[in-house]
Amino acid sequence: MRSFVHTTGPSRVIFGAGTIERVREEVERLGGARVMLLSGGSPALRKDVERLREGLGDLVAAEFDGAVMHTPVEVTERALSLVRERRVDCLVAIGGGSATGLAKALAVRTDLPQIVVSTTYAGSEVTPVLGETVEGRKTTRSAPEILPETVVYDVELTLGLPVPMSVTSGVNALAHAVEALYAPDATPVTDALALEAVAAIGRALPALYEDPSDMEARANLLQSAWLAGSCLGSVRMGLHHKLCHTLGGAFGLPHAETHTVVLPHAMAYNASAAPDAMARVAHALGVPDAATGVFDLVRQAGGPTSLRELGLTEADLDRAAELATAQPYPNPREVTRTGIADLLSEAWQGRRPQPAAGSAPDLRPLTDEVVASFDGCANPRLRQLLSDLARTLHGYAVRNDLTPQEWQRAIDFLTQAGHITTGTRQEFILLSDTLGISSVVDALTNSRTPETTSSAILGPFYVAGPPAAEHGADIAGGLEGTPMWADIKVTDPEGTPVGGAVVDVWQSNEDGFYDVQLPDLDGPVLRARFTTGEDGRFTFWSILPSEYPIPDDGPVGRMLSAVGRHPYRAPHVHFLINAPGHQPLITQLFVRGGAYLDGAPGQRDAVFGVKDDLVTHFTPHTGPTPDGRPVQGEWRLLDFTFRIAPSDGERAPTSSTETA
């Protein structure tokens, strides 16, 4: 069992396109009347700052555009004098980590409310942590006043962020999410935020590289930045963040770029000690191995891959390893000096990390080639179905690390299914039924309205063109069993009788066999075709169906026994209804109180065919029968109305069966 403490910071997030227009409203909501506008003076943001200034209008009491990286205290002091001089009562920052850092540094000294309009993906705007530099030394502190009151994310502002910065800033966010997954104080909430962020960043970065104006990709990245930033604010980060702070603080390497280069290597280092987290990252990214997947993602999106290109010299590596291991911090794998030196050396050279031991080879090129081989198919539906079948099967093999012996077993299984299949024994339907696929296809095709009777699977024992029978006929052919009188009505969803409906009925005998399974039986028994009268009705005599095993002397039966599943179906009668102007209905009625209707998965109906509205009373009676037929002892009454859907305008079912 997992125990945890989760605290959510009390910040408000406004997300969307054009949300910069709402900053004034937020200032007023926070009771501000004298705003100080903070920025880093970047020319790229000039227009946005202008827009913000205009939107705030007479609320702007001061402006400071000198925010810089690492939040040096001397810059904060200068801004602080302005705050005091102009009697500022609210801080509005626009930009990335530098502007946010300055707002936080001022807020912790004055307790003023802060609104941050975030234009990068760094995530610091949603953390209560402040990193400052005092005389060149970086210090970090955390306090509730540091957390901005409101964060405004405006996707339109990120359109101007150049692709290289978008990529490195996006990987910075990715790093928060990855390290949150193996943090010692992770919670189900941070797990969920982190995984959502990883998956969305994995999709957005390549999309953005392809088309920098892709608003959806921009929105996904910005939203992920918020989610990943929330992780950063909630849990303690490990090796990766330590290395990045060391490289940034001691060697002046640029923040987001350093994250981008180091992340795959930190992940590869931790992979053996955090296999679960890495498997989840790999799954979220849709790659076989998390660390190499992130490296490839960076490379594909044109991001930096070596510390050398960021300006670190080889001679610095040893000192960096020493600094990064000087103090202990939480990390899944023990941090050793030689381990970190090796890691840094790989990152310096820009090498692709080794996939984690035991991780699957990257088979995506092979899968892509197979999928592309269907590109020439003129039938788009066939192309779609085959492409996805290939992807699904390849994924299945990879996820399960399928061995040649296992795959051969599967081929043998299908071969045996083919050999045992005849005109009256259909092993492939049994396989589809026992794997639940028949019920999935049935559910996708039919049962779409609550006003109509549910459909159910056809099963392998339907025989097209059963003998026509009169109302009141006995279809049991003299077979032993509890007599059953069926009084069946077919109506439309409003209850109007449907006359002239052709209804095929079939069921097993008392021992659970269908006539086609009993070669000695003379002629079709326990199957017939009725036509409803003007009143939508027909009646017949039969016998009470009992539970029965599906044929289990073939490969499907062996599969069931190998997994400890029984082969029984709950007792039922089949109906196939075809009426002009209506959708066909294939269904079954189950005997209420019968076996295999309830219980744990694997103990119920072997083919997952039961639906609640199809379970009905087969009411016991003694004495006079509806048509006056003399019956000794108990007989049962099945009185049921099928409601069938009109065919117009509805999606036509694809599982209708020839009734010639």
Q: Give the residue among 587, 576, 577, 573 at the shortest CA–CA distance from 618.
A: 573
Binding mask 246-265 for Fe ion (x = CB under 5 A): --------------------
> Hey, what are 490's tokens?
């077919």
- Among ligand BEZ, Fe ion, none, the one that 149 touches (CB under a kind-dependent 5 to 8 A) is none
Candidates 124-132, 258-266, 403-411, 458-466; binding stretch for ligand BEZ (CB under 6 A): 458-466
Q: How far is the CB of 280 from Fe ion (least distance, A)?
A: 43
The yes or no reply on residue 526 touching ligand BEZ (CB under 6 A) is no
Q: What does DSSP assign to residue 63?
A: E
Name the one residue in this structure whose structure tokens are 């180091």: 262
> Hey, what are 570's tokens?
């709950």
Which residue number, 272 or 424, has a Cβ lying nearer to ligand BEZ?
Answer: 424
Q: What b/e readout covers 509-537, taking b as 16+ CB neighbours within 10 angstroms?
A: bbebbbbbbeeebeebbbbbbbebeeebb
Q: 540 and 475 in contact (C-beta within 8 Å)?
A: yes
Q: How many residues does the chain have?
A: 660
- Among ligand BEZ, Fe ion, none, the one that 550 touches (CB under a kind-dependent 5 to 8 A) is ligand BEZ
Show Cβ contacts of residue 523 under 8 Å, excluding neighbours closer than 6 positions. 467, 477, 515
Candidates 219-227, 337-345, 451-459, 470-478; binding stretch for Fe ion (CB under 5 A): 451-459
Q: What does DSSP assign to residue 43?
A: G
Which residue number, 26 or 552, has a Cβ lying nearer to ligand BEZ?
Answer: 552
Which residue number, 26 or 433, has a Cβ lying nearer to Fe ion?
Answer: 433
> How far is Cα 343 from Cα 246, in angstroms, rounded to an integer?
14
Q: Give the residue among 164, 173, 169 at the shortest CA–CA distance from 193.
A: 173
Which residue number, 273 or 437, has a Cβ lying nearer to ligand BEZ?
Answer: 437
Which residue number, 331 or 438, has a Cβ lying nearer to ligand BEZ?
Answer: 438
Which residue number, 225 or 607, has a Cβ lying nearer to ligand BEZ?
Answer: 607
Q: Which residues pair with 116 in a beta bridge?
A: 93, 151
> How far is Cα 486 from Cα 507, in angstroms, rounded to an integer?
13
The Cβ of residue 364 has, within 10 Å, a number of other Cβ atoms equal to: 15
- Among ligand BEZ, Fe ion, none, the one that 154 touches (CB under a kind-dependent 5 to 8 A) is none
Which positions from 65 through 124 interact with ligand BEZ, judged by CB under 6 A? none
User: Judged by CB under 5 A, how many residues of this single chain contact Fe ion?
Assistant: 1
User: Judged by CB under 6 A, how many residues of this single chain contact ligand BEZ?
Assistant: 9
Q: How far is the CB of 540 from Fe ion (least distance, A)?
A: 17
Binding mask 407-446 for Fe ion (x = CB under 5 A): ----------------------------------------
Q: How far is the CB of 459 from Fe ion (least distance, A)?
A: 5
Q: How far is the CB of 433 from ligand BEZ (least distance, A)?
A: 4
Candidates 53-61, 245-253, 356-364, 452-460; binding stretch for Fe ion (CB under 5 A): 452-460
Q: Which residue lies nearest ligand BEZ, judged by its C-beta? A: 459
Candidates 231-239, 265-273, 276-284, 459-467; binding stretch for ligand BEZ (CB under 6 A): 459-467
Which residue number, 189 or 435, has a Cβ lying nearer to ligand BEZ?
Answer: 435
Which positions from 540 through 559 interact with ligand BEZ, judged by CB under 6 A? 550
Between strands 527-531 and 537-543, the pairing is unpaired
The yes or no reply on residue 433 touching ligand BEZ (CB under 6 A) is yes
Query: Kindly report the CA angle at 87 between 84 and 89, in degrees rounded to 5?
Result: 110
> Hey, what are 186's tokens?
């992770």
Q: How far is the CB of 588 from Fe ion (least distance, A)?
A: 7
User: Rounded to the nearest 10 degrees, what angle do helices 404-420 and 555-562 cross at?
Assistant: 130
Which positions from 585 through 604 interact with ligand BEZ, judged by CB under 6 A? none
**φ and ψ of 350, to 5 deg:** 75, 30
Which residue number, 262 or 607, has a Cβ lying nearer to ligand BEZ?
Answer: 607
Specify the 3-state DSSP secondary structure of 497: strand
Indicate the burial class of 282 (C-beta count within 10 angstroms; 0-12, 13-18, 19 or more): buried
Q: How far is the CB of 574 from Fe ion (least distance, A)?
A: 6
Q: How far is the CB of 548 from ligand BEZ (least distance, A)?
A: 8
> How far is Cα 414 from Cα 397, in angstroms, rounded to an integer?
17
- Among ligand BEZ, Fe ion, none, the one that 255 touches (CB under a kind-dependent 5 to 8 A) is none
The Cβ of residue 371 has, within 10 Å, a number of other Cβ atoms equal to: 17
> How far is Cα 201 from Cα 287, in angstroms, rounded to an integer?
14
Q: 594 and 570 in contact (C-beta within 8 Å)?
A: yes
Cα of 152 vs its chain's centroid, Å? 28
- Of 121, 269, 461, 575, which one interacts with ligand BEZ (CB under 6 A)? 461
Q: Which residue lies nearest Fe ion, judged by its C-beta? A: 459
First-to-final CA distance of the chain: 60
Q: 335 and 321 in contact (C-beta within 8 Å)?
A: no
Q: 505 and 527 in contact (C-beta within 8 Å)?
A: yes
Candidates 213-221, 402-410, 457-465, 494-502; binding stretch for Fe ion (CB under 5 A): 457-465
The yes or no reply on residue 569 touching ligand BEZ (CB under 6 A) is yes
Which residue number, 289 or 433, has a Cβ lying nearer to ligand BEZ?
Answer: 433
- Among ligand BEZ, Fe ion, none, the one that 460 touches (CB under a kind-dependent 5 to 8 A) is ligand BEZ
Cα of 331 vs its chain's centroid, Å? 28
The yes or no reply on residue 459 touching ligand BEZ (CB under 6 A) is yes
The yes or no reply on residue 430 touching ligand BEZ (CB under 6 A) is yes
- Of 607, 610, 614, 645, which one interacts with ligand BEZ (CB under 6 A)? 607
Binding mask 458-497 for Fe ion (x = CB under 5 A): -x--------------------------------------
Q: How far is the CB of 573 from Fe ion (least distance, A)?
A: 8
> Hey, what are 596's tokens?
């295999």
Max CA-CA distance within the chain?
Answer: 107
Region for residue 87 given its phi and psi (left: phi exceeds 0; alpha: psi -120 to 50; beta: otherwise):
left
Please report, as ranges, the residues that interact with ligand BEZ according to CB under 6 A.
430, 433, 457, 459-461, 550, 569, 607
Binding site for Fe ion (CB under 5 A): 459
